[in-house]
Chains A and B, each alone.
Chain A
């Protein structure tokens, strides 16, 4: 019997895996950035089959829901924000991941009505609280142990995996300030290096060190954390001379069978605008020749031997000298690249290119998402079935997430969208018209 699935998750998984006693690199707590990433869970609709349930933290915008139904997605979802009735503190609630939130909600609320008993839980990642949510809603768990998931997502696990597979390993794990300074000095003699947090993600938790002064500054910052009882553990890696970032998505079933799903290339244009697209044929050719896929299979086998199964995204790099760094890091969870792959699987047309883009935004006062969809339709760029080219928005509430501080003034948000286009020219045209539609609706583009 095919069981329906319940899809939900917190895309900032690393935040919840991170142990509280780990010392952190300099960072600025940003509640607005957290609110955006929390609202990005809407994108998990791409994994929904017919009759599945999607639970999102903020609740999907009705116009977005109708648009997705018109594209053929047939899932049910909550329209209201998931919140605890009994917790008075909004920031305390914002600190919970979606499973902790679901596990603590009073009976009789929207999730109780939506979730069929005995459905399969399809999380973005296994987090603290996932098992509690499974028992609270009588879901079927075929999920790996939380502690195993936590362990295999550390940078030091990825580092050890290179040794296990006999891959070149340039990383050093440090467990004290003395080791950090000593190994850091040695690395600096050859050039700049990165200090990587155990649970760092792109754009957060990596610090570039290019001088002794910077090394001492980082050590000084960490010293005060250590004096407050925090544990030092980082991975140091020489800065690789990167040509291209790409990643491989695969799945490990509970019996250990590894299925490769896709590879996606990440293109950085400036700082705040990244996009993922299908790799160039020349890159795929290189991966075939250099045994890249076999390495991915081996990583899958080793992960399973350690007790993990489920989705995996391995980050890789092509370097300027033409060599491959197949294992930069293992992400034992679903991923943005997997989201891109699922959109492709459903909509990719012959002779068309696809990519996934993000547009950082700000808005003053209330902006109405449905007006954006209307404008996109009027200007002919809204993707529809049989339309060929177009822009398909993947997020609605993330454009103007609920501000946990409830401060007046501007809100920051993000639009994620999948583009289908024939040529680079037509892609530029789509992005230009999208930008205009966003601005005319009242959003400022932060790029």
Chain B
């Protein structure tokens, strides 16, 4: 899942180079530099990809602290 999450980030940012530079430890708002609008579009893309639904009203920004943490959050929703 981690790889797919990174692919979606690179797609949203339109920066293929991120496929090489991002890792499980990368922070989504700092290392990947997703802005607030991109975060929404990123989450909506992830919802499509993993067939999950995020509750935006309760979403915790802590989930964006790393690709690994976000992947774990998504995995939790997919159960």
Contact = CB atoms under 8 A, between A and B. Distances in A.
Interface of A: 26-30, 33, 203-204, 207-208, 213-214, 217, 220-221, 224-225, 270-272, 360, 362, 410, 412, 444, 446-447
A152 to B, nearest CB: 25
Contacts of A204: 36-37
Given A217-B47, A224-B57, A447-B33, A28 B13 contact: no
A207 B36 CA distance: 12
Interface string B27-45: 0011001011111110110
A28 B61 contact: yes
Contacts of A360: 33, 35
Nearest to B54: A26
17 contacts: A27-B56, A28-B40, A28-B59, A29-B61, A208-B41, A213-B48, A217-B44, A217-B47, A271-B13, A271-B38, A272-B33, A360-B33, A362-B30, A410-B30, A412-B30, A444-B30, A446-B33
B30 A203 contact: no
Contacts of A225: 57
A29 B64 CA distance: 13
Contacts of B14: 270-271
Contacts of B30: 362, 410, 412, 444, 446
A27 B40 contact: yes
Contacts of B41: 208
Contacts, number: 50
Interface of B: 13-14, 29-30, 33, 35-41, 43-44, 47-48, 53, 56-57, 59, 61
B28 to A, nearest CB: 11
Contacts of B61: 28-30
A412 B13 contact: no
**Dominant secondary structure at the B interface:** helix
Contacts of B29: 412
B39 A28 contact: yes
A394 to B, nearest CB: 20
A60 B56 CA distance: 35
A271 B15 CA distance: 11
B56 A221 contact: yes
> Looking at chain A's contact residues, is the secondary structure mostly helix, strand, loop, or mixed?
mixed
A26 B33 contact: no
A340 to B, nearest CB: 21
B34 to A, nearest CB: 9
Nearest to B33: A446
A257 B35 CA distance: 40
Contacts of A33: 36
B61 to A, nearest CB: 7
Contacts of A412: 29-30
Contact of B56 (A26, A203, A362, A447): A26
A70 to B, nearest CB: 34
B38 A28 contact: no
A33 B37 CA distance: 12
Contacts of A447: 33
Nearest to A228: B57
B29 to A, nearest CB: 7
Contacts of B48: 213
B36 A26 contact: no
B59 A271 contact: no
Contact of A203 (B33, B36, B43, B59): B36
Given A26-B43, A412-B30, 12 more contacts: A26-B44, A27-B40, A28-B36, A30-B61, A33-B36, A217-B44, A217-B47, A217-B53, A270-B14, A272-B35, A412-B29, A444-B30
A26 B40 contact: yes
B35 A271 contact: yes
A203 B37 CA distance: 6
Nearest to A272: B35
B10 to A, nearest CB: 13
Contacts of B40: 26-28, 207
Nearest to A30: B36
Give the one of A27, A220, A225, A270 with max B CB within 10 A: A27
Contacts of A217: 44, 47, 53
A213 B53 CA distance: 12
A229 B77 CA distance: 27
Contacts of A220: 53
A29 B38 CA distance: 13
A187 to B, nearest CB: 18
A272 B37 CA distance: 10
Contacts of B39: 28
